[in-house]
Amino acid sequence: MSRHAPVLAALALLLAGCGSQAPVAQEPPPPPPAPPTTTAPPTTTAPPTTSSSVNPRPPAPPSSKVKDCFDADCTLVLTKPTTIPLDEKTFHHGSMRVTAISADSLSFSVAYSGGGGAESSVGPGLGNASFGFIGSPSVEVGLTLVDGKPALVLQPGPIT
């Protein structure tokens, strides 16, 4: 064993020198750059526009003459069911019929030239009902009171 002693001593020294050095503290990598901040100009939003089928024009002056409604622009005081002639070349419909009228409601009908028709009822106000034909102005229908008496209100509307 004595002959191996110098070899073992050299080996021990060699192994002692092969040890790793103590780790040196390294600085952590720099943080990634912050994303650039941008300031967007304030956005302005326009208020929503509202459209209404209610005709902004004032109703025509009151009348008791059915012929005043031929151009669909009238306020006709009525006490009973009545047929109202209309300009068929303009509105496609030659007439409408008020089938019932009171201070609270108005019922009317429109006959179609090809057969059939439509009926509707409205309460007080204008623009709650209308009728028309594609490519022709519509006719807006309403109900008002004139000196406490019910009156049909017609106004030409937009082209349908």
Number of domains within the chain: 1
Could you tell me if residue 36 is inside a domain? no
Neighbours of 149 (CB within 10 A): 14
Domain range holding 150? Answer: 92-160
Could you tell me if residue 153 is inside a domain? yes
What one-letter code names the amino acid at 158? P
Could you tell me if residue 8 is inside a domain? no
Per-residue pLDDT tens listing for the chain (160 residues) = 555 544 444 444 444 444 444 444 455 556 666 655 555 444 433 333 333 445 578 999 999 999 999 999 999 999 999 999 999 999 999 999 999 999 999 999 999 988 999 999 999 998 789 999 999 999 999 999 999 999 999 999 999 8
Tokens 């008791």 belong to 64
pTM over 0.85: no
